[in-house]
Amino acid sequence: MNDVNAFDLIPRQSVWWLLLSHVVVASCFWGEQPLVIYLVAVIALVWRYFIARGRWHFPARLIKFTLVVTAFVGVAQSSFKLASLDQFIMLLLLASSFKLLETRCRRDGYIYLAIAVVLVSASFLYSQLFLTILHGLLACGLLLSALISLNTGTSRQGQVYYILKLAMVISLQALPLMIVLYLVIPRIAPLWAVPSFSSTRTIGLSDSIDASSMSVLGSSDAVAFRVDFKTPQPERQQLYWRGLVFEEFDGRRWSISAQKTESSIDAVMPEPLFVYRVTLEASFQPYLFAINSAFSSSPHVEVVANRLLRKTSAVDQRFYYDVQTGPTHYRPLPLAARKLNLELPSNNRRTIAYGKELAKQYPTAEARSQAILALFNQQNYYYTLNTPPISLENSVDDFLFVNKQGYCSHYAGAYVLLMRASGTPARLVGGYQGGELNSDGTLVVRQYDAHAWAEYWREDVGWQRVDPTAAIAPERVKEGAQTMLRQRNEFYAGGFFERVGLNRIMLFNNLQQHYDAFNHRFNSLVMNYDSSTQSRVVKGLLGEITAVRIVLFMFAAMLLPLLVFLLPNVLRLKRESKLVAQRRWRHLCWQLNLFGYPCSAGESESHYLLRIGNSFVVNQELIAEFIQLYTELVYGSPCPKELISAKERRLGQVSRRLQRSLLKSYLKKWLTPSST
């Protein structure tokens, strides 16, 4: 490295481009990677900056070794699954920072740029929002500018403008080809696979919840899913999006039972009440959400027990599925399901004893349910996101008889345990309730809409939904979680915008809704461009799809940007000279037309000027020189730009002198009395 040729040393201005590029590339992963990544990036940026300023030296081998070991310890201590995609991206980010730090010659810069381009591509694995795409395009533009800077050196004046202009031209040249390749290149399955994101990356509801699980989700405004209704939308009070059924309770946590206690619902939905499409964001869980008694014929979706929908694999990217919801059909409760939904934990004795008292006082399940709801409504219970600490061993007892403050999971869990203790099968259901109607007509359900409610068994009807939250905080169901929490000053999901009050401004909310609607449509049209959509588009463009037509179409797509950008470059010198000369000619003709000497139809420029020379007392050499310069600029062959500029300047001088001479001759002729 010490024997680097002076020509190969990286120019200082190229270092600034690389540093700026690294800031933008690393920021593409903000919030997705641990802080050690950004700490290493800051160290590399600051150190390389002072090296470029001549104040520091390149790090010694011992320092580089220490930095690498420390970084790899951070990778090992991260929460990512071993050999997962998250961890590979983390290693690439570290490699880019270390390479930037040791960048000394142009070759080092090229290697860094290659790593950075891969990182920009990897950033789209985390998000495909439109702003994310703009962020990625900005990063690509800066990387391209850095590449141009590495190849142009520092001798050119106004280099920043030149580099940015050239980067934009190159990007625009590549744009048509990129669009065509996106449209026609077949979606081929990968030849190999890498481990997906870490299994610890769960978003939203998981397969078990405790009393505080819903409170955590209540502080997030991330989109859970969107719904496009094909039929009239139900009332808000009916929008219970079922996703999970929790039937096992150990006194602390509710979890999904591994037993298959109920058969799945009918494979055909004969009388759908609602038809809609759900766009589910990545949750890294297989659970899908739908209104009660749902059926879906979408690929990779299955209908499982308890009338739920599941994806055959974890939802690790945005997923679309169509749903039909119909009436619930009564079926007898299997013995195994009855036994499971009557199980009681060994703790929470006060709650269980109270449930047994209810069984003595109220003979029917419906009466017991109403008694529990009346307890929540009439006693000193309070619905809040800020729940006080409760005992881990007797969480329901503490909530029901001591604290009397809780969120939806507290009330629903206590309700289910009381119903079971009274001899009525009951279970906890997790999902979302409500949603916000967006400007594009879609229903947006966010994480703070996460909700828990209960279902109990009626012998003559079947499973009945009961929402204990409606008894203590009916505005949660009628108006939504956001409105209810804001009224109680407990809405923490808006982040910075909520803290400064922007979310309460109607204009700002409308802008957010329009941006969200745009993102949804963009993802529906662009990001959801799959093989079947591609076949329809290509068939519409080419008719019958053959290998020859596809090759010709791609060749035309590559040729088109070349023609669009190269042809003007070839003709630019001649076109620019013609524009200047013709402007001078039009100005001269306009003046002569005012004098009463218009150009006749079909008369050439040279003949016209010679005729004018015979009518006015002017210098014939000026006319001859004007004709010569005009003819060379308009009809002559292309020549060097410097020569064209000289001819244009001379034509301007001759034109001005000729116009002054014509004006003097005309005034003299007009003012001098004619002799009779």
419 vs 571, residue with greater confidence = 419
- Is the pLDDT assigned to residue 487 strictly greater than 80? no
Return d(Cα 237, Cα 20) in angstroms, integer: 51
Nearest to 577 by CA among 652, 503, 663, 515: 652
Percent of the chain whose predicted confidence (pLDDT) is above 70: 84
In the chain, % of residues over pLDDT 90: 25
- Report the range of poorest mean pLDDT among 37-51, 234-248, 511-525, 537-551: 537-551
Cβ atoms within 10 Å, residue 572: 12
pLDDT above 60: residue 268 = no
270 vs 272: CA distance, rounded Å? 6
pLDDT value of residue 602: 67
Residue 5 has pLDDT above 70, yes or no: no
Phi, psi dihedrals of residue 382, rounded to the nearest 5°: -135, 135
Q: Which of 439, 441, 418, 415 is nearest to 429 (CA)?
A: 415
Looking at mean pLDDT, say which of 124-133, 256-265, 369-378 comes out highest: 369-378
What distance in Å separates the CA atoms of residue 181 and residue 164, rounded to the nearest whole number? 25
CB-CB neighbours of 476 under 10 Å: 22
d(CA 138, CA 24): 8
Q: Is the pLDDT of residue 426 over 60?
A: yes
Cβ atoms of 403 and 446 closer than 8 Å: no
pLDDT of residue 19 exceeding 90, the answer is yes
Lowest mean pLDDT among 190-194, 286-290, 426-430, 438-442: 190-194
Work out the mean pLDDT of the chain and round it to a whole number: 81
User: Maximum CA pair distance of the chain?
Assistant: 138
pLDDT at 1 over 50: no
Q: What mean pLDDT comes out for the span 73-99?
A: 81
pLDDT for residue 491 is more than 70? no
Question: Cα separation of 144 and 164, whole Å?
Answer: 9
Task: Classify residue 637 as exposed, middle or buried by CB count within 10 Å of its CB (0-12, 13-18, 19+).
Answer: exposed
Do the beta carbons of residue 423 and residue 359 sit within 8 Å?
Answer: yes
329-388 pLDDT per residue, tens? 778 888 988 999 999 998 889 999 999 999 999 989 999 999 999 999 888 898 888 878
pLDDT at 269 over 70: no
Q: Given this model, what pLDDT does residue 188 score?
A: 64
Q: What is the DSSP string of 557-625?
A: HHHHHHHHHHHHHHHHHHHHHHHHHHHHHHHHHHHHHHTT-PPPTT--HHHHHHHHHHHS---HHHHHH
The two tokens of residue 49 are 């900056």
Q: How far apart are CA 629 and CA 403, in angstroms?
A: 97
Kindly tell me the number of DSSP H helices and DSSP E strands found in the chain. 23, 17
Tokens of 270: 């004969």
- Which tens digits make up the pLDDT trace of 524-536? 777 667 777 777 7
pLDDT score of 161 more than 90: no
pLDDT-derived band of residue 675, with 50, 70 and 90 as boundaries?
A: very low
Whether the predicted pLDDT of 661 surpasses 50: yes
Opening angle at CA 19, ends 69 and 29, nearest 5: 65
Q: Looking at residue 493, what is its pLDDT? A: 64
pLDDT tier at 573 (50, 70, 90 boundaries)? very low
Query: Is residue 454 over pLDDT 80?
Result: yes
The token pair at 95 is: 């490699």
Confidence of residue 310 (pLDDT cuts 50, 70, 90): very high
| 230-253 per-position pLDDT tens digit | 988 888 888 999 999 999 998 888
pLDDT at residue 155 tops 50: no
CA dihedral 136, 137, 139, 141 (to 10 degrees): 170
